[in-house]
Structure 1
Amino acid sequence: MNFGESNNLSSTSLSNKDQVVQPDTEDDERIPILRTRKRRRTSVDNINLHEMDITDQASCSKQDNQTVNNVLAIELYEQPSNAHNCHSLPKAPKKCSREISPEKYVSREALLSSLSVAWSSLLTFSTEGSSFENLLRFSLLAIGSKSGCVSIWKVHAPESYHIERGNVSPNVELTAIIQAHSSWVSTMSWGIFGCDSSNPQMLLVTGSCDGSVKIWMSNKEDLQKSVEVYTSSFFLLKQVVAVNLVPVSTLSFVVNNYSNEMHLAIGKGSGSFEVWKCEISTRKFEQVASTNAHDQVVTGLAWSYDGRCLYSCSQDNYVRNWILSENTISEVPIPANTPGLSSTSDLPDDFLSCLGVALSPGNLAVALVRSFNIELLNPMYEARSQKAAVEFTWNGAQQSGESEDCSETITEAILGFSKNEYAYWESNLLWSLKEFKDYNKPLVLWDMITAMLAFKQSMPEFVELVTTKWLSVSYLGFHADIPMEDLVPKISKRFSAIPSRLLHILNVISRRVMLSELKTDEINRKLQVQRMNNEEEIDLWLKLLQESERELRERLVGLSFSAYLTAESASSTGNWHPAGLAQMQQWVEINHDIVDSQLQTLSLDVKSSLTRSSSNSTETALEEESCPYCAAPVHFNSPEEAVCQAPHLKKKKERCDQGHKLERCCVSMQVCPPTPLWFCKCCNRLTLELAPEALFALPSFPNDLKSLPEYSFSKVALKPFCLFCGILLQRKQPEFLLSASPV
């Protein structure tokens, strides 16, 4: 039976007066076919009418197929003068009065037929001075079509993030249309060139079915502002591969910002791939390798570990691993042993081909997209519902091409792992931790946490070795081969000189790995009452976590006080206005013996300023909070939770001193209202207000909070990051829902 149609014509409700001749079986079979054809013809006519309407709109502009500086003059898109007015393509008129030639129709249909897309990371450009208020934040979307054109769209980041409003349409702006190739654009990839994160230089690599590969570089001035579509904001840097008979199927490149060197891998339809080294500053390009890696078309390429390792996959269902050493590339076996998991080296027979490969943020795991062999599946159930699967495998034991020295602690092979494999895991884990030191890189640690948890179950000494080495190098500046009980006091004394990003990584590892035996709520309760467990190891990590979170809260309170005093003196309307100043003052008073002396001075200044100013009556009123359920007063005793003071009546009308138990916002320390709140998946804390972006970029505790520049408190497009963990917040979901995490 076809959905939306009835095969039983006699079921139609008819009166006795209506005489209906029942058709024979052949006519019965033709009727739904005729209806389908009629409906299909109607939909095709509507599509043709819509396309003719659009071309009617476009025929009033320039001539077709003209290129100026590799920019295609396309009449379909209208570039607005203001980026805020550009949300979608112009609507087509209702009536069509003009026709176009078949050649124009074919060319415009090829233009609208998209084959490949590529997203860039979130870019940040400073327009005027160094003020955060003048930052432009957007991502670039490149769309390749059959006509060989690449349209580049600018998708602006939202000005703010809301927990209740998630369907806000982004601001989209057409930036450029490039006539990149003479044939289909089959693959594209973005990259960032330059060490200056505030003014990055964008690179776009495009590959075509005509066999050519080109590298395009952005014009930073034109990319920041809204320009005409016909004025290119990208220029051709280099045509790496000329037109040939072998089509380009995929490509991958990585830019090393320290050496300004680019590694480019080009996959071909013949099953081979090429590797190029590119000196971007001198525009020197050199092909270093070319190998026939597969028997069928190469479907995926992915670099790992700063361009030292390369994964390739093909429709022949093979995945291969390569090491690039200087100007030679050699194949190495894929790591078979996985910590805590069964080996995935033996692939199921149900897989027919591999469609793509991708690396995790920490480069410790590989994701493979595989299609099923329909002939081997159950035709009744599996063949209908299962088309492809994503396979995860570990990459931590990858040989990175550098000499890894095995630690003296690892003296022999354990649980099927050789000494070399442990050395590779140790080196790659430390490399991944070092990469996340950059606060511009999103803190996504699921692969690292999962691997360390698996190793902790089988070999906890290895996890302690890696964490101890990372702590000593990152926090002390050198590798100190000392036990953990001696290392913790040394690290705690240097918390004020440690970047906020390192504190966030430490908190995540402490909660999710080293204290994994305890539930998150139990950890929070132990931190709150400052009560340690009997086990010495857990005591050490609880102490480390407690002092790290207190350091982050001190930085937040200091920035809040300084922002308020700066706004009072400068009278600026665009600055960040912190909430919960009264609660922060009480927290400083409670912890006056351990907090920084600057906070005590600033707390007194803020308190006197609020007292003098008659316009800040709302701020002073916040000192006495009320329960959102019974309006009873709520006193400040803890930054995490509170209990209202209203006595409740039991059934026998006996007074009970226990009131409503309330959660406090982990940023403002105010009582949370009964509305949807931001939720941290790591520490299970709730947040109403968001921490300022300046907190996550602090290299250390400020020496003089009063002399911080005003732009540190400017109103910026904040992402919902957790104050203590540094990861993205989310809306709290019920426990019975499926998790989106792959682990």
Structure 2
Amino acid sequence: MSRMKTMSQQRFQAAALVASPSYPNAVAWSEENLIAVASGHLVTILNPATPVAPRGLITLPAYKPFPIGVIHPQDILAPCILPTSLSRDARPCVRSISWSPIGYAPNAGCLLAVCSTDGHVKLYRMPCCEYSAEWIEVADISEMFHSYLASVNFKESDVLSSGIVEEQINDTQMDQSCGDTQQVSILKALTVVENARGNLKNNNVRDIVAVPDSRRKHAKKGPEDCNLSLITAEQFASRNSMLASLVVAWSPDMILTAGVEEASADYVLSNCSVLAVGAKSGRISLWRICQPQRYSSTNSRELTTASLIGLFQAHDSWITALSWLHISDASNPQLLLATGSSNGCVKVWQAYVNQLLKSSEVSDVLVSLLKEISTIDSSPASVISFTVPIESTGKLFLAIGRGSGSLEVWIGELKSSNFDKACCPDAHEHIVTGLAWAFGTNCLYSCSQDDTVRCWILHDDVLSGVPLPSNTTGVRSQFDVPNVYDSCFGLALSPGNLAMAAICS
């Protein structure tokens, strides 16, 4: 059975979960002191004071694939299509969660961004007047993103490939000469699709395969998405990877200055936060969400306003980790974004705050590359944690946990944009699933699927392991939490650094 553990100065509490977690960073602690736990197809909201009594629940429904186009039946087994058309899970699981800063929900609380394994991202709020444990959906980020990509033709060339053009010309000539005889052709094509469906045992094959548009008008029955345009297998794979979201992360608060015009009068002259969404294509979309100026605990049905303001190519492979950092310098405030990918590459981007606040169109120049971290470890960057040390002005600490179990810490100089590697110990034996800086910002917590949670101190550019608090009941060694773990899938610290929550399976 999966468990969520809360460690404080007094005791170590446990709460049972309905399902098991599957991905790193499966637990998040909000600024309003709520814990979200991603386990299977559920997100459980807990009160850390009484974790055995869930505060709320989010259940992921089964989504239909986005209508992005259809391909010819002969391309159904193309190498770029096969991983997409084969479905392994009966229902989607939670892949990534992230809390907004406080004050972005209609009741002055936090919004929760949830990303599922089928690539959907939605925002949820606490039920205020619904008298229900199920949290309320307030925005569908993926649906809005699909609408935008469809409006710009997925940023593809309008010129069709010569093969498709030639095929459409031939189809038109055949239609003019053969008439209703094409009904036999489409029935044969549909038979091929159904046979492939049976062989692959996949219920979603029909959603991505069809015959050319010129043939559909003669068919009495055909695929549901018969009004979609014919595209190549490569186009389908590219569009699917753009829509397949993997990880989400909220930025800290930013002040929305005068002169910014928003669609709703309730969202003018307020604070803003940016939700970053990383996808399989290596692109990151940036969504601006504004804090409402009026709050209500009785009328909270108003949907959250989310605006797509940025879309840029961050990596050439899957985005696997995101982390924001706000540097509160009165003379030069900065907002940084660290991104990790499946090929091991980690980059640090500097965001242009004024443009993030004022941009009214989708742009790819809202951030600029500050530093690409060079490393010999090519294993995926599973988790990233950013912090600014209090005692060292002009510096920042970047911790990177990898699929190999290694833990890297980089010390960055803001003025020179220079990053030096402090250390790379063999922290864990398996993938690092959680990282969090705390206690004066030189103390780092990490956890892994090797069943351990460890504490580290960064001093004089050296990362040293230190024992967990001695009053933690049942500690086996200076590194391990109580022996109740099978695999740890994440940890989170409370806003005041007084308690830590970890989730295990």
Specify every segment of 5 or more residues in structure 1 that has no aligned partner in the other structure, as ranges: 1-42, 65-92, 372-743
Q: Contact 1:211–1:241 at 8 Å: present in 2 too?
A: no
TM-score by length of 2: 0.53
- Note the 1:243-642 alignment, pairs <5 A: 245-256=378-389, 259-337=393-471, 343-345=473-475, 349-371=483-505
Match of 2:157 in 1: 63
Q: How does 1:81-230 map to 2 (within 5 A)?
A: 96-127=227-258, 135-196=269-330, 200-230=333-363
Report the secondary structure of 1:153's partner residue. Answer: strand
Please tell me whether the aligned partners of residues 67 and 228 of structure 2 are also in contact (alpha carbons under 8 angstroms).
Answer: no
**What is the rounded CA distance, in whole Å, between the counterparts of 1:128 and 1:59 in structure 2?**
32
Letter of the 2:153 partner, please give it.
S
Q: Higher helix share goes to which structure?
A: 1
**Matching residue of 2:137:** none
- Offset at residue 230 of structure 1 (A): 3.2
| Aligned partners of 1:353 and 1:370 also within 8 Å | yes
- 1:103–1:121 Cα change, 3 Å: same
Counterpart amino acid of 1:101? T
CA distance in 2, matches of 1:163, 1:181: 42
5+ long unaligned stretches in structure 2: 1-61, 71-145, 159-223, 261-266
In 2, are the aligned partners of 1:49 and 1:96 still within 8 Å (CA)?
Answer: no
1:127 offset after TM fit, Å? 3.8
**SS at the partner of 1:282?**
coil
1:121 positional shift: 2.4
- Cα shift readout 1:688-709 (whole Å, capped 9, x = no counterpart): xxxxxxxxxxxxxxxxxxxxxx
Deviation at 1:325, TM superposition (A): 0.7
TM-score (norm 1): 0.37
Which amino acid counterpart does residue 103 of structure 1 have in structure 2?
Answer: E
For 2:380, the aligned partner's letter is P
Residues in 2 aligned to 1:243 and 1:275: alpha-carbon distance in whole angstroms: 14
Q: Decide whether aligned partners of structure 1 residues 224 and 317 sit closer, same or farther in structure 2, where only a CA change above 3 A counts.
A: same
- Is the 1:153–1:174 contact (alpha carbons within 8 Å) kept by the matching residues of 2? yes
How far did residue 249 of structure 1 move?
1.0
**Looking at CA atoms only, which structure, 1 or 2, has the larger radius of gyration?**
1
SS of corresponding position for 1:351:
coil
- 201 and 143 in structure 1: CA distance in 2 versus 1, 3 angstrom threshold: same
For 1:106, the aligned partner's letter is: A
Does the alignment pair 1:234 with 2:367?
A: yes
Query: In the TM superposition, what is the alpha-carbon distance from 1:323 to its structure 2 partner?
Result: 0.8
Pair 1:279–1:48, CA change in 2 (3 A): closer
| Separation in structure 2 between the aligned mates of residue 322 and residue 48 of structure 1, nearest angstrom | 44
Residue-pair matches, total = 292
Aligned partners of 1:322, 1:62: CA distance in 2, in Å?
Answer: 47
CA separation in 2, counterparts of 1:60 and 1:270?
A: 35
CA contact (8 A) 2:154 2:239 kept: no
The CA deviation at 1:195 is 2.1
How far 1:344 moved relative to its partner? 4.6
Instruction: Indicate conservation of the 8 Å contact 1:316/1:354, yes or no.
Output: yes
Which amino acid in 1 is paired with 2:296?
A: H
Cα distance in 2 for residues equivalent to 1:348 and 1:126: 49
Which stretch has the larger CA shift, 277-286 or 288-297? 277-286
Q: State the distance in 2 between where 1:97 and 1:214 align.
A: 37
Q: How does 1:730-741 map to 2 (within 5 A)?
A: none
CA contact (8 A) 2:404 2:431 kept: yes
Higher relative contact order (CA 8 A, sep 6+): 2
After superposition, the C-alpha distances for 1:362-381 in whole angstroms (9 at most, x for unaligned) are: 1121111111xxxxxxxxxx
Question: For residues 193 and 230 of structure 1, do their structure 2 counterparts lie closer, same or farther at Cα, with a shift above 3 Å needed?
Answer: same
Aligned-pair Cα RMSD in Å: 3.0
Question: Structure 1's 270 and 94: CA in aligned 2 closer, same or farther, altered over 3 A?
Answer: closer
